[in-house]
């Protein structure tokens, strides 16, 4: 059972079973990310992080996000996001705009070319996810894994000190 009152800063070291689970999750994430990266590069010439950025922008109201919001959503440092947005801007898939309410900030907006690329890449992405996940989990297993991941992400957002990447 998940304990919402769990104080992560006072946790004891992970027990062996949870440590092995952690190592397995890290390996699975690396394997899946590498497979998705290779598929997206081969099919559409875009990397996984670029795809994720376009997907986040497309889902955002008006197709735009502030730079710091986009950095947090794709888990990049501010300088890492700047380099990514520079590449996407050169490709014509995003534009950078001044923030009308904060002269220091800027927004990134997905362009029609970016939406078209995202739609094409989404097919390759979905096929690759289906290849790795399609028949490996029962619905109950998938729901339990999603719930566990949601708890980890919620804890991370609640305690930004534990997440050094957040801008």
Q: Domains along the chain?
A: 29-134 (1.10.10.10)
**What is the pLDDT confidence band of residue 83, given thresholds at 50, 70 and 90?**
very high
Length of the chain (residues): 167
Contact 58, 115 (CB under 8 A): yes
- Output the pLDDT for position 161: 45
In terms of pLDDT, which residue wins out, 110 or 16?
A: 110
What is the token pair recorded at 80? 């890492």
Query: Is this prediction's pTM over 0.85?
Result: no
Output the pLDDT for position 167: 40
What is the pLDDT at residue 114?
Answer: 98
Each residue's pLDDT tens digit, 103-156: 778 899 999 999 999 999 999 999 998 888 877 888 999 899 899 889 888 877
In this structure, are strands 94-99 and 64-66 parallel, antiparallel, or unpaired?
A: unpaired
Among 154, 125, 147, which Cα is nearest to 44's? 125
In the predicted structure, residue 65 carries a pLDDT above the cut 50: yes
Using an 8 Å Cβ cutoff, are 94 and 77 in contact? no
Q: What's the sign of the alpha-carbon dihedral 31, 36, 42, 48?
A: negative
The predicted structure's pLDDT at residue 163: 46
What pLDDT is attached to residue 10?
A: 58
pLDDT band at 1 (very low <50, low <70, confident <90, very high): very low
Instruction: Flag the least confident range among 8-12, 50-54, 100-104, 116-120.
Output: 8-12
- Measured distance CA(167)–CA(165) in Å, rounded: 6
- What is residue 85's predicted lDDT score, i.e. its pLDDT? 97
pLDDT at 48 over 50: yes
Poorest-pLDDT segment among 7-11, 71-75, 116-120, 147-151: 7-11
d(CA 68, CA 107): 9
Q: What is the pLDDT of residue 157?
A: 62
């Amino acid at each position: 059972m998940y304990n919402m009152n769990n104080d992560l800063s006072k946790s004891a070291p992970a027990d062996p079973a949870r440590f092995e689970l952690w190592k397995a999750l890290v390996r699975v994430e690396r394997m899946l990310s590498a497979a998705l990266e290779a598929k997206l590069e081969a099919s559409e010439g875009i990397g996984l992080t670029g795809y994720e950025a376009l997907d986040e922008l497309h889902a955002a109201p008006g197709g735009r996000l502030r730079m710091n919001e986009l950095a947090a959503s794709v888990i990049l440092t501010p300088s890492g996001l700047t380099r990514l947005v520079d590449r996407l801007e050169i490709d014509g898939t995003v534009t950078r705009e001044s923030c009308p309410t904060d002269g220091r900030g800027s927004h990134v907006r997905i362009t029609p070319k970016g939406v078209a690329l995202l739609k094409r890449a989404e097919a390759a992405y979905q096929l690759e996810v289906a290849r790795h996940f399609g028949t490996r989990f029962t619905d109950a297993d998938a729901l339990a894994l999603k719930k566990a991941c949601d708890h980890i992400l919620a804890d991370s957002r609640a305690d930004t000190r534990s997440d050094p990447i957040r801008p």
